[in-house]
A and B are shown apart, each in its own frame.
Chain A
Amino acid sequence: DADVTQTPRNRITKTGKRIMLECSQTKGHDRMYWYRQDPGLGLRLIYYSFDVKDINKGEISDGYSVSRQAQAKFSLSLESAIPNQTALYFCATSDRLTGGLSNEQFFGPGTRLTVL
């Protein structure tokens, strides 16, 4: 099945460490997103990319960076992790071809990150 995968699924790290979260998809979608989820706050958009050469900041990009290595791969980095970046991180994709009509998104399984 075409899918969205994330690695690692769980990560515990220390303050100040550099962390990379990876997302791969086999859906053939052009658009990819990174969200973080905190209890009671829903999902907040960190970065999004509409194609390999297009990277855009979301609502909460400070402290994060991204890389779109290929159409199918979108990585999120925390250059110097801090405790308030402890959260559940989701990657998502959507299809540009239907984007004119629908921006329905398909989510990966999530990465639970704990920063001590």
Chain B
Amino acid sequence: ELKVEQNPLFLSMQEGKNYTIYCNYSTTSDRLYWYRQDPGKSLESLFVLLSNGAVKQEGRLMASLDTKARLSTLHITAAVHDLSATYFCAVDMMKTSYDKVIFGPGTSLSVIP
């Protein structure tokens, strides 16, 4: 059974600092997604990573995927308050008989001025 873990689960950081959120998963997959959720809102797609070594960047966020290590990272550069949200990774069970994604528990990020 595929399990997806994220750490940390809660992160409080100062504006201007850098930090990395980690997403580990337990079985083979080379498709992974990152989503953002603002409080009380829906999930918004951030990054789609479709192969080993994939790297995507948008503004202060950069996501990467290492399928051999079964690890994805979401790196935050020079954090700003607007990045405060919960970030979910989701791993695609593409090699099973049915096609669905499993979500991690989420990392709640709070950026403090």
Contact = CB atoms under 8 A, between A and B. Distances in A.
Interface stretch (B12-20, B41-49, B69-77): B41-49
B101 interface: yes
Counting chain A CB atoms within 10 Å of each CB, the highest count among B41, B44, B88, B99 belongs to: B99
Contacts of B105: 40-42
Interface in A44-95: 44-45, 48, 50, 56, 58, 90, 92
Interface in B5-60: 9, 31, 33, 35, 41-45, 48, 50
A26 interface: no
Nearest to A108: B42
Contacts of A90: 42-43
A106 B43 CA distance: 8
Interface residues of A, number: 25
Contact of A45 (B92, B94, B100): B100
Counting chain A CB atoms within 10 Å of each CB, the highest count among B4, B45, B50, B100 belongs to: B100
A48 B105 CA distance: 20
B103 A43 contact: yes
A101 B45 CA distance: 16
A103 B101 contact: yes
A15 interface: no
A72 B41 CA distance: 22
A23 B31 CA distance: 26
A60 to B, nearest CB: 12
A103 B106 contact: no
A58 B96 CA distance: 13
Contact of A102 (B4, B48, B88): B48
A57 B15 CA distance: 43
Given A99-B99, A105-B90, 17 more contacts: A40-B106, A42-B88, A42-B104, A42-B105, A43-B88, A45-B102, A102-B31, A102-B48, A102-B50, A103-B94, A103-B99, A103-B100, A103-B101, A104-B33, A104-B48, A105-B33, A110-B41
Interface of A: 33, 35, 40-45, 48, 50, 56, 58, 90, 92, 99, 101-110
